């Protein structure tokens, strides 16, 4: 948890005035435990909210000005009139919260008066732990609450996704915003991205902890490859329709159904993409089963199978993620290790015995640096709650 006293001091240094009316809100980051590249195929994902994220300090103003500051970008403050909300390249990161204000205004729930806002993020930006969803959701939640509007968390997640898609031009699915809004301490979330049906699944890891490894490799290829994979999945659906006329998304097929008809897909590459998607969705469901039976080792094996499939069939891992996962699996006490997020960089997630964590950091860090020339960062994490107001 961020140091609220220190953040209050920073707030007063930046904006002046009194501390009295400052309010505090938080939203977590998230990690997807299994179920990668399934969301846009009408499949399941299995994310969990983290215990670190974005803290927002906010204080009402008498006029109609919004003043945005962030401890993560200390050089520049962005002052924007409520009546002139528009995306501007030169407004940098403030386009994320502005997108939320824009969506609220469109739905008739825009703020009546302005605010001073200070953000403090503990999530490394651009590493696939959803700092963008975190800043969006905390902003939406805070402004709705301040305006006296009821908050429907699913609706808030959709609003935040829309603002990222339309206002910021980033094609993300719904998983990030949904997990950040609806997370629950100690529980992962089985989420069907198509229908937004979800349920919490207790994640009882006993003597094991989740360790996130940041490759610190920027996800350079991610946009073009992401679009390519989506097109390949659509191609597979089209060709499979000669066998399954009603098919609209790969997620509607079981692995058996795909296997029976996969020869209808002409390209061997597209066939492998489809196999990944359908089997990965099945692995998510198996994960829930084994976790509910308390079989953590089986969950670890599913994590490994997920990564291997993303590497060999879907081809979205890359040298850095593979090097980190290979190194992780050699450490005694590691039940499973896989990439998390869209791939080509970003983070891995591993299930590690708590007595092995120090060795894990050391050994994986050294081996990863030797293989790639990059320094890794590691975060031992617990599963936290979704967005909330912090009462002080
Ligand atoms: P990810 O969501 O994987 O962390 P993105 O590229 O989607 O990566 O989002 C990162 C961007 O979100 C940052 O470059 C910045 O514009 C914005 N952002 C996230 N957290 C903060 C923060 N605490 N303060 C200011 N901007 C933030
Ligand atoms: Mg993001």
C-alpha–C-alpha distance, residues 29 and 136, integer Å: 11
163 domain residue, yes or no: yes
Helices (H), 113-172: 131-146, 153-162
Tell me which ligand sits closest to the C-alpha of residue 89. 1
Tell me the three state secondary structure of residue 326: helix
What is the pLDDT averaged over residues 232-259? 98
Q: pLDDT digits over 39-62, tens only?
A: 999 999 999 999 999 999 999 999
pLDDT at 71: 98
| Cα 247 off chain centre by | 28
Ligand 1 centre to CA of 162 (Å) is 16
What is the number of the ligand 1 atom nearest to the C-alpha of 54?
A: 23
C-alpha–C-alpha distance, residues 31 and 386, integer Å: 13
Q: Is the CB of 139 under 6 A from ligand 1?
A: no
Decide if 48 contacts 183 (C-beta within 8 A).
yes
CATH for 78: 3.30.230.10
Q: pLDDT confidence of 218, banded at 50, 70, 90? A: confident
C-alpha–C-alpha distance, residues 41 and 200, integer Å: 21
56 domain residue, yes or no: yes
Q: Is the CB of 125 under 6 A from ligand 1?
A: yes
* CA 142 vs CA 82, 84, 111, 153: distances in Å: 16, 20, 11, 12
pLDDT at 171: 83
C-alpha–C-alpha distance, residues 373 and 252, integer Å: 42
Ligand 2 centre to CA of 20 (Å) is 33
Instruction: Tell me which of 30, 49, 125, 340 to substitute to probe ligand 1's pocket, judged by most ligand atoms within 8 Å of the beta carbon.
Output: 125
What is the pLDDT averaged over residues 229-251? 97
Quick one: CA dihedral 112, 118, 123, 126, positive or negative? Answer: positive
List, in order, residues 6 or more apart from 257 with CB less than 8 Å away: 244
Ligand 2 centre to CA of 173 (Å) is 10
C-alpha–C-alpha distance, residues 192 and 255, integer Å: 17
312 domain residue, yes or no: no
298 domain residue, yes or no: no
Which residue CA neighbors atom 26 of ligand 1 most closely?
93
321 domain residue, yes or no: no
Ligand 1 centre to CA of 132 (Å) is 4
C-alpha–C-alpha distance, residues 27 and 32, integer Å: 16
Instruction: Tell me which of 78, 129, 135 to substitute to probe ligand 1's pocket, judged by most ligand atoms within 8 Å of the beta carbon.
Output: 135
Report which of 320, 366, 323 is spatially closest to residue 128, judged by C-alpha positions. Answer: 320
Which residue CA neighbors atom 27 of ligand 1 most closely?
93
**Phi and psi for 53 in degrees, rounded to 5?**
-175, -130
Decide if 160 contacts 172 (C-beta within 8 A).
no
Q: Is the CB of 132 under 6 A from ligand 1?
A: yes
296 domain residue, yes or no: no
Q: Say yes or no to pLDDT of 379 above 70.
A: yes
For the entire predicted model, the pTM comes to: 0.96
State percent of the chain over pLDDT 90: 94
Ligand 1 centre to CA of 364 (Å) is 27
What is the number of the ligand 1 atom nearest to the C-alpha of 125?
A: 4
231 domain residue, yes or no: no
Q: What positions carry a catalytic annotation?
A: 176
C-alpha–C-alpha distance, residues 385 and 41, integer Å: 27
Instruction: Tell me which of 99, 120, 131 to substitute to probe ligand 1's pocket, judged by most ligand atoms within 8 Å of the beta carbon.
Output: 131
310 domain residue, yes or no: no
Q: pLDDT digits over 56-70, tens only?
A: 999 999 999 999 999
Helices (H), 183-330: 222-240, 255-261, 268-292, 296-312, 319-329
Give this complex's ipTM.
0.99
Computed over every residue of the chain, the mean pLDDT equals 96
Q: Say yes or no to pLDDT of 224 above 90.
A: no
Structure tokens belonging to residue 205? 């890891």
Q: Say yes or no to pLDDT of 134 above 70.
A: yes
The answer for 42, left when phi > 0, alpha when psi is -120 to 50, beta otherwise, is left
Structure tokens belonging to residue 79? 């002052």
Tell me the binding residues for Mg(2+).
Answer: 132, 164
Which residue CA neighbors atom 16 of ligand 1 most closely?
93
Which residue CA neighbors atom 7 of ligand 1 most closely?
132
What is the pLDDT averaged over residues 362-391? 98
Q: Is the CB of 29 under 6 A from ligand 1?
A: no
Least confidently predicted of 163-172, 232-241, 327-336, 349-358: 163-172
pLDDT at 344: 93
Quick one: CA dihedral 249, 254, 259, 261, positive or negative? Answer: negative
Tell me the binding residues.
Answer: 36-39, 70, 126-132, 164, 226
pLDDT at 222: 72
pLDDT at 221: 66
What is the number of the ligand 1 atom nearest to the C-alpha of 95?
A: 16
State percent of the chain over pLDDT 70: 99
Q: pLDDT confidence of 316, banded at 50, 70, 90? A: very high
Top pLDDT among 364 and 128 is at 364
* CA 269 vs CA 179, 300, 314: distances in Å: 32, 27, 9
Q: Is the CB of 73 under 6 A from ligand 1?
A: yes
List, in order, residues 6 or more apart from 189 with CB less than 8 Å away: 46, 47, 48, 178, 179, 182, 183, 198, 199, 200, 201
Q: Say yes or no to pLDDT of 2 above 90.
A: no
Q: pLDDT confidence of 172, banded at 50, 70, 90? A: confident
- The total number of structural domains in the chain stands at 1
What is the pLDDT averaged over residues 200-205? 97
Q: Is the CB of 128 under 6 A from ligand 1?
A: yes
Decide if 212 contacts 29 (C-beta within 8 A).
no
What is the pLDDT averaged over residues 294-320? 98
Tell me the three state secondary structure of residue 319: helix
Ligand 2 centre to CA of 91 (Å) is 17
Domain that holds residue 29: 4-203
Q: Is the CB of 95 under 6 A from ligand 1?
A: no
């Amino acid at each position: 948890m961020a140091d609220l006293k220190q953040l209050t001091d920073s707030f007063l240094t930046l904006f002046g005035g009194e501390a009295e009316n400052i309010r505090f809100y938080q939203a977590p980051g998230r990690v997807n435990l299994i179920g990668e590249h399934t969301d846009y195929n009408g499949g399941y994902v299995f994310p969990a909210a983290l215990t670190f994220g974005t803290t927002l300090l906010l204080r009402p103003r008498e006029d109609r000005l919004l003043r945005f500051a962030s401890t993560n970008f200390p050089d520049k403050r962005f002052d924007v009139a409520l009546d002139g909300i528009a995306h501007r390249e030169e407004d940098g990161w403030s386009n994320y919260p502005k997108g939320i204000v824009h969506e609220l205004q469109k739905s008739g729930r825009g703020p009546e008066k302005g605010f001073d806002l200070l953000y403090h993020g503990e999530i490394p930006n651009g590493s696939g732990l959803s700092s963008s969803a975190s800043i969006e959701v905390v902003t939406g939640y805070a402004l709705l609450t301040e305006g006296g509007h009821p908050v429907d968390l699913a609706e808030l997640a959709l609003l935040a996704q829309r603002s990222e898609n339309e206002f910021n031009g980033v094609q993300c699915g719904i998983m990030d915003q949904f997990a950040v809004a609806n997370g629950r301490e100690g529980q992962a979330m089985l989420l069907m991205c198509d229908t937004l049906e979800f349920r919490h699944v207790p994640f009882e890891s006993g003597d094991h902890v989740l360790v996130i490894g940041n490759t610190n490799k920027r996800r350079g290829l991610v946009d073009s490859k992401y679009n390519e994979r989506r097109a390949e999945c659509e191609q597979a659906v089209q060709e499979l329709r000669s066998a399954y006329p009603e098919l609209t998304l790969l997620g509607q097929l079981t692995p058996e159904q795909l296997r029976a008809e996969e020869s209808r897909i002409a390209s061997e590459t597209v066939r492998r993409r489809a196999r990944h998607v359908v089997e990965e969705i099945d692995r998510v469901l198996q994960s829930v089963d084994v976790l509910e039976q308390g079989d953590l080792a089986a969950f670890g094996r599913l994590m490994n199978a997920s990564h291997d499939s993303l590497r060999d069939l879907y081809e979205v891992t890359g040298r850095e993620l593979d090097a980190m996962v290979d190194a992780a699996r050699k450490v005694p006490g590691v039940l499973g290790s896989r990439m998390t997020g869209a791939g080509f960089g970003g983070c891995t997630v591993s299930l590690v015995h708590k007595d092995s964590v120090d060795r894990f950091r050391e050994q994986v860090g050294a081996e990863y640096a030797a293989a790639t020339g990059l320094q890794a960062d590691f975060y031992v994490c617990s599963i936290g709650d979704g967005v909330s107001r912090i009462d002080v």
